[in-house]
Amino acid sequence: GENVEQHPSTLSVQEGDSAVIKCTYSDSASNYFPWYKQELGKRPQLIIDIRSNVGEKKDQRIAVTLNKTAKHFSLHITETQPEDSAVYFCAATDSWGKFQFGAGTQVVVTP
Amino acid sequence: KAGVTQTPRYLIKTRGQQVTLSCSPISGHRSVSWYQQTPGQGLQFLFEYFSETQRNKGNFPGRFSGRQFSNSRSEMNVSTLELGDSALYLCASSPVGKKETQYFGPGTRLLVL
């Protein structure tokens, strides 16, 4: 089955700097890669996703890149703000829709 | 539209007991997935139901079971509770035709003593 590894487990950045979180997956059949943000005490919320036929996707200050050959994908947050502080989860899903999540990255943005 | 709702929000049980958690998906959504969230383990997939049928299953023991009703509401049951079952249990629903797009509920926090 699919196995998703996520790094780093914690990430501390100064406000205004960029944050990068990386995930690797094992199943070459995986074709959908969402990223979720979970603020303390709240439910995970989808922030961006990418499909296997696309190499990069941007939405304002966040972007995701996918390298199918190397089986890794990354989340990039630019100009970080305190409200970006949260736990971020990557996930990979196969054509059956079965999700495998990474262990999460705790991002702390300090003013 | 109302979001995904889960009941109860908090639950305390003792070892050996069983528990049933409920999830009501967004109106019109027919797919419901369940996850266990623990610190350090992230979200572990339990199972997914679509139109009252289990479509996918994760690697959890048989003590974990679920079902889905004709109105798409879903329940999961954990029998013979163990201390390690203490976790946040999240359900997520997906719209028809967009099964990969998941909307999460607030979760049920289960504490097993």
Pairing of strands B53-57, A19-25: unpaired
Closest CA to B56 of B112, B109, B20, B102: B102
Q: Which residue has the higher pLDDT, B95 or A61?
A: A61
Mean pLDDT, residues B21-34: 96
Q: How far is B94 from chain A (nearest CA, A)?
A: 10
Is A97–B43 a contact, with Cβ atoms under 8 angstroms apart?
no
Token representation of residue A65: 């890149």
B100 contacts A34 by C-beta, under 8 angstroms: yes
> B42, A98: Cβ pair inside 8 Å?
no
- Of B96 and B27, which is predicted with more confidence? B27
Closest CA to A96 of B70, B38, B108, B47: B47
For residue range B43-64, list pLDDT tens digits in order.
Answer: 999 999 999 999 989 989 999 9
- Smallest Cα distance from B33 to chain A, Å: 9
pLDDT tens column, A58-88: 999 999 999 999 999 999 999 999 999 999 9
The one-character DSSP state at B87 is E
Query: With bands split at pLDDT 50, 70 and 90, how would you rate the model's confidence at B74?
Result: very high
Phi-psi region of B83 (alpha: psi -120 to 50; beta: other; left: phi over 0): alpha
Q: Which residue has the higher pLDDT, A53 or A64?
A: A64
Contacts of residue A93, Cβ cutoff 8 Å, sequence gap at least 6: A2, A30, A31, A32, A33, A34, A99, A100, B100
Q: Report residue A35 as tokens.
A: 């990223």
Q: Is A98–B45 a contact, with Cβ atoms under 8 angstroms apart?
A: yes
Mean pLDDT of B61-90: 97
What pLDDT is attached to residue A1? 67
Residue B42 has pLDDT above 90, yes or no: no
User: Could you tell me if A66 and A75 are in contact, meaning their C-beta atoms sit under 8 angstroms apart?
Assistant: no
Say whether B26 sits in a helix, a strand or coil.
coil
- Chain length of chain B: 113
Probe site for chain B from A39, A43, A47 (most B CB atoms < 10 A): A43
Specify whether the CB–CB gap between B78 and B19 falls below 8 A.
yes
On chain A, the residues whose CB falls within 8 A of the CB of B4 are: 43
- Residues A89 and A107: their CA atoms lie apart, in Å, by 11
Q: Which of A60, A59, A54, A64 is nearest to A89 (CA)?
A: A64
What share of chain A in percent tops pLDDT 70?
A: 98
B95 vs A: CB within 8 A: no
**Number of inter-chain CB pairs under 8 A, A vs B:** 54
What counts of helices (H) and strands (E) characterise chain A? Answer: 0, 11
Indicate yes or no: CB of B100 within 8 angstroms of CB of A46.
no
Distances (CA, A) of B5 to A6, B26, B46: 29, 8, 18
Taking 80 as the threshold, does the pLDDT of residue B40 lie above it? no
